[in-house]
Amino acid sequence: MQPGSPDNEWREDCAPRRVLDLFSSKWTSMILHVLDTRLDGCARTGVLLRSLPGISKKMLTQTLRDMEASGLVIRRVYGTVPPAVDYTLTPLGKRFVELIDLLYGWGRDNADALDALKAKKGEGA
Amino acid sequence: MQPGSPDNEWREDCAPRRVLDLFSSKWTSMILHVLDTRLDGCARTGVLLRSLPGISKKMLTQTLRDMEASGLVIRRVYGTVPPAVDYTLTPLGKRFVELIDLLYGWGRDNADALDALKAKKGEGA
DNA sequence: CCATCTGGTTACGTCAGGGTGCCTATGTCC
DNA sequence: GGACATAGGCACCCTGACGTAACCAGATGG
């Protein structure tokens, strides 16, 4: 294996891996998707919390903050008495929503393939 | 998204999540891709090992076995003196290769978006 | 006076993914 | 004889993602 060979395509920072990174957080893609699809690109923390069954407050905040740091959303704080914060999808965020929709769409179109997969996590029968 | 079943769409076993499951192993998608793209759908363990810089023997075997269990590849063992084993992509595996190519393709086409992402893992400067 | 609602943080604990290293078994090569 | 290559098993470890629960702050309302 020499340098310059196709093997170098698989470095840590290659496109494929960076794409996958986006899906490595469990909630990121769902937040992005929900934000875009059901919340019209902007929502308050509480709304998001209630829109994503199963997520904990901590994970929401944490993921949202990471997303902000990544430039996927904008965090706006209103200095009101009961704290109010909302998160808005950035144009960059929307680019990734496209990808996510692509992926989710594939999932819907290929549900049979997904069904054919012998899952190793839910099998009890 | 139509109202009526919003929250239920996000159950553990919804299509979106199952799709993401495929990418949750770090090596699965790369193995699939390499197997299809560079190895013509079939390769011996050693070849795969050398084709995926950074993977450890354990992870290769483990991932490959998981993939076999999932029905993505077929494992063939030749009872030869120096053990020989090869893995072949199944039709199901090829379905998923399509998805992976889709994803990787997006990554290549949108490298600028990936670049625009402020990574929180590599920045030290 | 206390509960509550808001958004967050912090401490704490669990668990699985991932990685390293060592071990087997046989046959060939030095 | 000893090293190496083949494919893989197994023990051990480490990290970090994830989750839970408690707590903070300030105003409101009962």
Integer Cα distance of B36 and B62 in angstroms = 19
Residue B118 lies in a domain: no
Q: For residue A58, tell me if it sits in a domain.
A: yes
List chain A residues with CB under 8 Å of B7: 51, 53
Which chain B residue shows the shortest CA-CA distance from A36? B1
Number of domains making up chain A: 1
Domain, as residue range, for A48: 11-105
Do the beta carbons of residue B104 and residue A16 sit within 8 Å?
Answer: yes
Q: Is residue B86 part of a domain?
A: yes
Q: What CATH code is carried by the domain that includes residue A80?
A: 1.10.10.10
Contacts of B114 in chain A (CB under 8 A): 15, 18-19
Within-domain flag for B10: no
Q: How far apart are CA A9 and CA B3, in angstroms?
A: 43
In order along its 125 residues, chain B shows pLDDT tens digits of 333 344 455 665 677 888 888 898 999 999 999 999 988 899 999 999 988 888 999 999 999 999 999 999 999 998 776 788 999 999 999 999 999 999 999 998 998 999 888 765 444 43
